[in-house]
Chains A and B, each alone.
Chain A
Amino acid sequence: MNHTPAPKAALHAPQQSHNSKTTASGVKQWFKKQGYRFAPWLFFISLLILWESICRLGHVPTYILPSPSSIINAFFNVSFSRWMVHLWATLRVALLGFIVSILISIPLSIALIRSELLNRTIYPVLVVIQSTPVVAVAPLIIVLMGTGDASRVLITCLITFFPLVVSTTTGMLETPQELIELSQSLRAPRYRETWQIRIPYAIPHIFSGLRVSITLAIIGAVVAEFVAAEQGLGYFIQFSTSFFKIPQAFAGLVFLSAISLLLFKSVHWIQAWLFPWSLPKKK
């Protein structure tokens, strides 16, 4: 984000250096560069200031819209250990559901690609599961499987697996036909075609799916907590709202979003670390 505007700054610089000294233009350019660099932060901070002033000058009641300062206050009024308890509860379910989802989706995708019969029989079932609103099914799952982690993990799985199946199968099908022919012309065993050609080709797609899924995993965990839980950030938000502790609910929401963003970024970092070739080329 910080880098993209830089060439633009460089493009504009020569026009200005036209009638001013080189050092002056250098300084100007430096300011411009830093300006671009911090623009997103400045914008964000101005938004917060605007929000704060509307709340203060307009005397908006905190139960309608709490000001940023009251949210920050509420955040620090909750003890660190309490935050950690809730965070761990949500993260545990989200990550467990996410991992189970990966463990199911990828073998399933391979099976779907390799067998036309499975593709014809299982795929429609997957679409039906995907199009059933999980929020509606969640209470049923809790009734069936109890209020333990297992049912919450299952709810998370139901929400996260489909993007993974779609992205993995799409990636595997996009493998160039010539490479499949190369494999056939070598009479290589079929599993090597899958592992040495199709799966690596699907890596960029798989990671797009993972990025979508990890944020859905958080949503899945929160949905499960809304239905039945005594811990977790979703539970915390719901509980704070029902006691009219609106700034505290907002604090929970901000924390949840931050965690979501961090997980999303982590998937990207893992991709950059393990499969640097699969990232789009930098200009």
Chain B
Amino acid sequence: MNVMNAFSTPSIENVAHNDDQATQKETTPNAYVRMEDVGHCYDPTPDGPMAVQHINLDIYRHEFVAVVGPSGCGKSTLLRMVAGLLIPSHGEVSVFNKPVTEPRDDVGIVFQKPNLLPWLTVKKNVLFPLKHKYGHVSLEDKKRADELLTMTGLASFADKMPDELSGGMQQRVGIVRALLLNPDILLMDEPFSALDALTREQIGFDLLDIWRDHPKTVLFITHSISEAVLLADRILVMSKRPGTVLDLIDVNLPRPRTAKDMNSTRFCELTETIRGHIYEPHSRA
């Protein structure tokens, strides 16, 4: 299929990739993204308040990890550190055994707001990362953008301006833009929180489809517990500021997931557990 060509297999050796989604847990023993006692303090003075601390987390290749936690607990900080936009003041983040010291080429970021450029058409917005990084785009890149837009059902909007699109469509364009460079790691910071509930659910399932067809390592920050359970393989629950790991939960719901899963007992158990952590942070920590 044409669309499949849009994603060349990332050229990292020794990583056996398993296409079978139901057995997603059978990843290589080596962690792909590794956080070792990561902490960060924005205040440069010694003994300044820590935004996050003692984060130990191994994310396997092509795993979908969600992060939930109260506002201000340092979720975005954590994401920035994985993106290489922020160097942690304590500990170390490494990707494939290489410490992250600057932004990497294989990382795509989706923000809470679509943050499209209002003076560019949808297609040019999608192509923007390439244009911005290299100064020009090739015909091949344009073809790839077209394929991605077709895949996400946005083909007929390619030449529209962003403000002619609904919020949900704009966010889709934001996701397509992050996928353009075919990143192996997709970082999403509350990507759906500006959307209405219905759009939010739909776009979540669409994301799962994309992820199934073109596996990526996803770090997904959300405020919605049910969204985290519905999408993720594992959920990192963080405590209030200074953010630490309260719990790391294996979701273990079969894939592909549908809206029906939200009625299952496992789903309710999981949401209850997470809710418990967030509302009584000291009972379990």
Q: Which of B80, B119, B133 contacts A186 (CB 8 A)?
A: B133
Q: Contact at A185–B107, with CB atoms within 8 Å? A: yes
Q: Contact at A197–B133, with CB atoms within 8 Å? A: no
Assembly CA distance A135 to B134 (angstroms): 50
User: Which chain A residues border B163 with CB–CB below 8 Å?
Assistant: 277, 281
A-B pairs, 5 with minimum CB distance = A185-B103, A178-B111, A186-B133, A188-B132, A178-B115
Q: Is B173 positioned at the interface, with any CB of A under 8 Å from its CB?
A: no
Interfacial residues of chain B within 87-139, with CB under 8 A of chain A in the complex: 102-103, 105, 107, 109, 111-113, 115, 117-119, 128-129, 131-133, 135
User: Which chain B residues border A271 with CB–CB below 8 Å?
Assistant: none
User: Which chain A residues border B111 with CB–CB below 8 Å?
Assistant: 178
Q: Contact at B113–A176, with CB atoms within 8 Å? A: yes
Interfacial residues of chain A within 179-216, with CB under 8 A of chain B in the complex: 179, 181-188, 192, 196-197, 200, 203
Q: Contact at A181–B135, with CB atoms within 8 Å? A: no
Interface residues of B, dominant DSSP: loop
- The verdict on A192 contacting B132 (CB below 8 Å), with A182-B109, A184-B103, A277-B161 known, is yes
Q: Contact at B83–A196, with CB atoms within 8 Å? A: no
Interface residues of A, dominant DSSP: helix
Least CB distance, A246 to chain B, in whole angstroms: 50
Q: Is B85 positioned at the interface, with any CB of A under 8 Å from its CB?
A: yes
Least CB distance, B125 to chain A, in whole angstroms: 11
Interfacial residues of chain B within 150-203, with CB under 8 A of chain A in the complex: 161, 163
Q: Contact at A200–B132, with CB atoms within 8 Å? A: no
Q: Contact at A275–B119, with CB atoms within 8 Å? A: yes
User: Which chain B residues border A188 with CB–CB below 8 Å?
Assistant: 132-133
Q: Is B70 positioned at the interface, with any CB of A under 8 Å from its CB?
A: no
Q: Contact at A184–B85, with CB atoms within 8 Å? A: yes
Closest to A185 in B: B103
Residues of B at under 8 Å CB distance from A? 80, 83-85, 102-103, 105, 107, 109, 111-113, 115, 117-119, 128-129, 131-133, 135, 161, 163
Q: Contact at A178–B113, with CB atoms within 8 Å? A: yes
Q: Contact at A181–B132, with CB atoms within 8 Å? A: no
Q: Contact at A179–B135, with CB atoms within 8 Å? A: no
Assembly CA distance A187 to B129 (angstroms): 10
Assembly CA distance A181 to B107 (angstroms): 12
Total A-B residue pairs with C-beta atoms closer than 8 Å?
53
Residues of A at under 8 Å CB distance from B? 176, 178-179, 181-188, 192, 196-197, 200, 203, 275, 277-278, 281
- The verdict on A185 contacting B109 (CB below 8 Å), with A200-B119, A275-B119 known, is yes
Q: Contact at B102–A187, with CB atoms within 8 Å? A: yes
Closest to B84 in A: A185
Least CB distance, A75 to chain B, in whole angstroms: 43
Q: Contact at A176–B115, with CB atoms within 8 Å? A: yes
Least CB distance, A101 to chain B, in whole angstroms: 24
Closest to A192 in B: B132
Q: Contact at A196–B109, with CB atoms within 8 Å? A: no
Assembly CA distance A179 to B85 (angstroms): 12
27 contacts between A and B (CB under 8 A): A176-B115, A178-B111, A178-B113, A179-B117, A181-B80, A181-B83, A181-B85, A181-B109, A183-B132, A184-B85, A184-B103, A185-B83, A185-B109, A186-B103, A186-B133, A187-B103, A187-B133, A188-B133, A192-B132, A196-B132, A197-B117, A200-B119, A203-B119, A275-B119, A277-B118, A278-B118, A281-B163
Assembly CA distance A184 to B102 (angstroms): 9
Q: Contact at B119–A278, with CB atoms within 8 Å? A: yes
Q: Which of A179, A196, A278 contacts B131 (CB 8 A)?
A: A196
Assembly CA distance A275 to B109 (angstroms): 28
User: Which chain A residues border B118 with CB–CB below 8 Å?
Assistant: 277-278
Q: Which of A179, A203, A277 contacts B115 (CB 8 A)?
A: A179
User: Which chain A residues border B131 with CB–CB below 8 Å?
Assistant: 196
Closest to A196 in B: B132
User: Which chain B residues border A281 with CB–CB below 8 Å?
Assistant: 163
Q: Contact at A200–B85, with CB atoms within 8 Å? A: no
User: Which chain A residues border B113 with CB–CB below 8 Å?
Assistant: 176, 178
Closest to B135 in A: A192
Closest to B83 in A: A185
Instruction: List 20 additional A-B contacts (Cβ < 8 Å) besides A176-B115, A182-B129, A186-B133.
Output: A176-B113, A178-B112, A181-B83, A181-B109, A182-B132, A184-B103, A185-B85, A185-B109, A186-B103, A188-B133, A192-B132, A196-B131, A197-B117, A197-B132, A200-B117, A203-B119, A277-B118, A277-B161, A278-B118, A278-B119
Assembly CA distance A167 to B84 (angstroms): 32
Assembly CA distance A278 to B135 (angstroms): 23
User: Which chain A residues border B85 with CB–CB below 8 Å?
Assistant: 181, 184-185
User: Which chain B residues border A179 with CB–CB below 8 Å?
Assistant: 115, 117
User: Which chain B residues border A187 with CB–CB below 8 Å?
Assistant: 102-103, 105, 133
